[in-house]
Amino acid sequence: MAKKKDKTNLGDFTKEYPVTEQIITDTLETNYMPYAMSVIYSRALPEIDGFKPSHRKLLYTMYKKGLLHSQRTKSANVVGETMKLNPHGDQAIYDTMARMARGNETLLHPLVDSKGNFGKRYSRDMACAASRYTEVKLSKICEELFKDIDKETVDFVDNYDGTMKEPTLLPVTFPTILVNSNQGVAVGMATNICSFNLAEVCRATCAYIEDKNANLLEYIKAPDFSTGGTAVFKESEMINILENGRGTIKVRSKWRFDKKAGCIEIYEIPYTTTLEVIIDNIIDLVKAGKIKDISDVRDETDKEGLKIAIELKRGTDPEDVMNRLYSLKVPIQDSFSCNFNVLVKGRPVVLGVRGLIAEWLDFRVGCVKRELQHDIKAKSDKLHLLRGLSKILLDIDKAVKIIRETEKEELVVPNLMWGFGIDEIQANYVADIKLRNLNKEYLLKRTSESDNLKDEIEDMQLTLSSERRILTVIKKQLKEIEKKYGQERKTDIMEEQDVVVIAKEEFIEDYNLKLILTRESYFKKIPLTALRASPDQKLKEGDEIVQEVDWHNKSEIVMVSDMCNVYKMKIHDMPEARAAAMGEYLPNLLEMEPGEKIVYFVPADNYDGMMLYAFKNGKVAKIPFNCYETKNNRKKLIKAYADKSPLIDALFIKEDTDIGMVAENDKILVVNTALIPLKTTKNTQGVQVMKFKKNVFLKTMKKATDLSVANAANYRQRNIPSSGSAPKKEDASVQQLTMI
């Protein structure tokens, strides 16, 4: 049945739904840019205090709930409260909390003191428990995140519905941006910040305060990851990270060998991978036969921590197995790519460690100045009150009399102001003093404070006016934090020259084999051990073997096609075959052109020797075999020989030797290849070696020793070109020539 045509008319559609043409750049600016900017500024990139908005909102909610010094509460309570500041789904908030939790082990210095299952950074499959089962509070180190936040050290803004206030930044007293790792993907940019040891960062910051050109490499040798491992120190990469914020750090797993169990135990892995990925990679390598010394691999992680057990076959060297696993790109060694992209004063910038320390100090100096201004104001207000109180001290009885004789309450303050010459604030303070405090001892104690307050205010004003003194305060705080929260490195450091590198060739098993090429372009790679049981070769009907070579597995093979192409492969990359199988079909294996055939192959350990190409017109080209040597792993070389005349035969020779050529009229010519000049150009047309009469062409070329004649010397010529000689009487019965 014919399909009914759709009668919908595009013109009718546009009438009903008018289409307005828009310039795509305007559309992107109007519709996409607000989204992109929101992701960059409000979601994906951390600011100089080291936190993204989601982190900051969660931590501030916990701080306001009093979870810094109280008992833990259910995570669900915190998640619910956080939604007043962070209008996203509860699961997103809980995931953020999990990554900051001690139990998850993502952060070098966890900010959330957790109880319950929060999953593990090193496990892909271990999921955290639901928020109703887990409990949290703020870690002790969070005191440094919120220190003096109530002294107007940072700005506060309205939350999304204007019902609450939240800080734009946290007044962190140490560079948290460098101490805890942070990753994020924005629109058109991303960030990937590794963690550094807290004590090292504090010392480096103090050194920078003393000298902005200080060598930070003396203090920070490598990142320090929460998952441990061993960082491979490469000076150039580390300097790039410290100065530019970009670079790559290689991290290796830590392992030990249990002699009793006969297995390797990996107990610390790189920060960027998981134990499941490592196990899967090892299993794949064992199945592929690339490593044969492993009998089992399993996850033995328990309450004691991570453990991957690799069981070895008897007599295996564990050091050798680990080095092989490293070289085979198993993620027991992985790389952390640094990209220190942060928001500084509302702009995304990529900064090195030095730049981040500089920007953090600028931010921290501002916080300390605001704190000093707040304290100066508070102490000045108190001093002002005490000065009013000191005037009352001169005549307490007069003050009591004024209050007693004042008929109306609202006149007490004005009368005190008039009686002692004090202002309204001072008068209110005096009026609010309890009767029991109107004793000489109390009043003297209060007024004696004024001298101390005056000294403190002068000292703070002096500090406020001197950035050097402010930096000294910051330096003192950093030293206290280092002493209080500093810990030993979790990630060890090893020099790059100490890394054992195993060449890929060392993994290749070498053994003897037979290489077979058939006329129909089938190829067999058969181990000689397999030929003992079944030596008979199976071929496609009508096919025949044209070349057969005994060789070995750890080598290369060069294949010449009839379309001026040469194909190269590693023999060990070619699949093995059985004598009872037809072998690999080369056009499929090599991705050859339609109708193309392989006519000759050369297995080679090196590229010494020469290639001879015999063409239908009787010309022979001799070129160095090293013309086909390439530095990269190119699999196809085009224009490998001349295409002016069809190729009849190709031949590889180590040195000059006698070759035999046979024309279609059965004339035979034997010459030494020394007569043929060596050309360095692959597509040279060669020189005329055998000349023919009209409509006669070359039939074959091979080594003289392979000619089916009684005595090859009977056909030798000392000069070329030559038309050759007719078959001698003893060779007249030979109708065709075959290869031995």
Beta carbons of 417 and 379 less than 8 angstroms apart: no
Does the pLDDT of residue 1 top 90, yes or no?
no
Q: How far apart are CA 82 and CA 20, in angstroms?
A: 43
474 and 515 together in one domain: no
154 and 303 together in one domain: no
How do residues 418-449 score in pLDDT, each as one tens digit?
A: 888 888 888 888 888 777 777 777 777 777 78
In a domain, 242, yes or no: no
Angstrom CA distances, 308 to 24, 302, 328, 329, 429, stand at 53, 10, 18, 17, 70
326 and 380 together in one domain: no
> Of the candidates 337, 357, 359, which has an alpha carbon nearest to the alpha carbon of residue 348?
359
537 and 415 together in one domain: no
Task: Provide the CATH number for the domain around residue 681.
Answer: 2.120.10.90
> Of the candidates 167, 99, 86, 183, which has an alpha carbon nearest to the alpha carbon of residue 136?
99
Task: Provide the CATH number for the domain around residue 82.
Answer: 3.90.199.10
In a domain, 653, yes or no: yes
367 and 449 together in one domain: yes
Structure tokens at 648: 């009849």
In a domain, 154, yes or no: yes
Q: How far apart are CA 7 and CA 513, in angstroms?
A: 69
Which of residues 280, 312, 331 is at a domain's end?
331
Portion of the chain with pLDDT greater than 90, in percent: 56
| Count: domains in the chain | 4
Does the pLDDT of residue 78 top 60, yes or no?
yes
Task: Provide the CATH number for the domain around residue 302.
Answer: 3.30.1360.40
Which of residues 331, 353, 372 is at a domain's end?
331
Please state, rounded to an integer, the average pLDDT across all residues of the chain.
Answer: 88
571 and 717 together in one domain: yes
The residue segments making up the domain with residue 572 are 506-731
What lies within 8 Å, CB to CB, of 666 at 6+ separation is: 726, 727
How do residues 583-638 score in pLDDT, each as one tens digit?
A: 899 999 998 999 899 999 999 988 999 999 999 999 999 999 999 988 777 888 99
In a domain, 99, yes or no: yes
Q: List, by residue number, the catalytic residues.
A: 133
Task: Provide the CATH number for the domain around residue 382.
Answer: 1.10.268.10
Q: Determine the pLDDT at residue 502.
A: 64
324 and 392 together in one domain: no
Q: Give the three-class secondary structure for 130.
A: coil
Q: pLDDT: is 79 or 22 the higher one?
A: 79
What lies within 8 Å, CB to CB, of 450 at 6+ separation is: 383, 386, 387, 390
Of 96-105, 228-237, 343-352, 432-441, minimum mean pLDDT range:
432-441
Task: pLDDT band for 5, please (50, 70, 90 cuts).
Answer: very low
In a domain, 722, yes or no: yes
In a domain, 597, yes or no: yes
325 and 375 together in one domain: no
Most confident of 10-14, 336-340, 425-429: 336-340
What's this model's pTM, rounded to 2 decimal places? 0.75
Instruction: Give, for 604, the enclosing helix (H) or strand (E).
Output: strand 598-604
In a domain, 184, yes or no: no
What interhelical angle do 412-420 and 353-393 show, nearest 10? 80
Q: How far apart are CA 116 and CA 126, in angstroms?
A: 13
How do residues 379-414 score in pLDDT, each as one tens digit?
A: 999 888 888 878 877 777 788 888 888 888 888 888
Q: How far apart are CA 533 and CA 530, in angstroms?
A: 6
Using the 8-state DSSP alphabet, how is residue 447 labeled?
Answer: H
Q: Determine the pLDDT at residue 308.
A: 95
Which of residues 172, 196, 221 is at a domain's end?
172
Q: How far apart are CA 206 and CA 482, in angstroms?
A: 11
What interhelical angle do 353-393 and 235-244 show, nearest 10? 40
537 and 567 together in one domain: yes
575 and 688 together in one domain: yes
574 and 611 together in one domain: yes
Instruction: Give, for 651, the enclosing helix (H) or strand (E).
Output: strand 647-653
Q: Determine the pLDDT at residue 366.
A: 94
How do residues 123-138 score in pLDDT, each as one tens digit?
A: 988 889 999 999 999 9
Of 266-270, 472-476, 567-571, minimum mean pLDDT range:
567-571
Using the 8-state DSSP alphabet, how is residue 140 labeled?
Answer: G
Q: Determine the pLDDT at residue 36.
A: 84
φ/ψ of 162, rounded to 5, equals: 75, 15
Tell how strand 556-561 and strand 598-604 pair up. Answer: antiparallel
In a domain, 194, yes or no: no
546 and 631 together in one domain: yes
> Of the candidates 468, 390, 485, 469, which has an alpha carbon nearest to the alpha carbon of residue 430?
390
